[in-house]
Amino acid sequence: MSSQDRQVETEIAFGNSLSRFFRLIRFSHTVFALPFALGALVVAANGRLSLRVCVLVLACMVCARTAAMLFNRLIDWSLDQRNPRTASRHLLVPKAGILLLLVFSSAGFVTAAAAINPLTFLLSPLALAIVFFYSLTKRFTAATHFFLGLALAIAPVGAWIAQTGHVDLAPLVLGAGVVCWVAGFDLIYATQDYDFDRREGIRSLVVKLGVARGLRLAQLLHTIVLAALIGFGFAARLGPIYYGAMPLVAMALIYEHRSARHLDVAGINRAFFQSNAFVSAVFLIAVCADQLA
């Protein structure tokens, strides 16, 4: 075998390993929380972003989410193998590899936070503790969906602190909206695991309330989300361009809930990704357009 052939094989193997890693941590779902963090950063900077802070916030986001997902995979290693929906996850990356990557991503998050400002560094261990804690909650509380929301709500609040060095009302209102948004779509997503979770004793509001009532709660939470996004606009003193995008957010959420009513797995997954990616993208575009106007 020539050196060129060996190089090609190495590149293919690396590409396959990277692909498996991205599948393991559901990297595509980064598009959900990232726009809210960037939107908060844009507003906090009054549209005048620092490239340095922006890059460091992105590094924090990627590292924190990666660490959270890897911790989740470790904690749920045996549980995922028993769930038909997740049974092949343990085949993607060896357990030892996950542990090593967890250490690196956690260290990367703390390092990036330390490079931003003293407060972000001081809060970085707390942020990691919160995102890790979510993975344990389904073992003792049905409110696990809200802990997932809290884990993602850290992103916009943290981005605001990264830019300003302090906390204001606006990011807290936005964070509350993110909590309800994530809890709502996680309730919809959890309907896929209703039978498995009930059999395994896994706690969720879908198991506790039943599928129909769980979906109604998700609708209520997403109504609160719309109110929170409007409240963020008032707290951050945004203009008509931002508010003009809110009907698009409402339409995307309505589409998601109409798709979820049929309890079709493919439909739920499609609506879950498309609707929520659209909501977060519309939010970011609206914020940027408002700040540049």
In 76-210, where does DSSP find H-type helix? 77-82, 95-116, 118-137, 144-164, 169-190, 194-200, 205-209
pLDDT given for residue 170 in this prediction: 97
- Domains, the chain: 29-292 (1.10.357.140)
- Are the C-beta atoms of residues 205 and 145 closer than 8 Å to each other? yes
**Distance (Å, whole) CA 64 – CA 267:** 29
Structure confidence at residue 85 (pLDDT):
66
pLDDT for res 4: 39
DSSP string, 16-44: HHHHHHHHHTTGGGHHHHHHHHHHHHHHH
In the numeric block, which tokens belong to residue 242? 């931002």
Exposure b/e, 202-238, CB count within 10 A at least 16 = b: bbbbbbeeebeebbebbbebbebbbebbbbbbebbeb
User: Which tokens belong to 289?
Assistant: 């357009």
Cα dihedral 58, 157, 282, 182 in deg (nearest 10): 100
Q: First vs last Cα of the chain: how many Å apart?
A: 60
Taking only the tens place, the pLDDT of each residue in 1-27 is 444 334 333 333 334 565 665 565 565
pTM, rounded to two decimals: 0.86
Q: Which stretches in the chain have pLDDT values below 70?
A: 1-31, 80, 84-93, 262-272
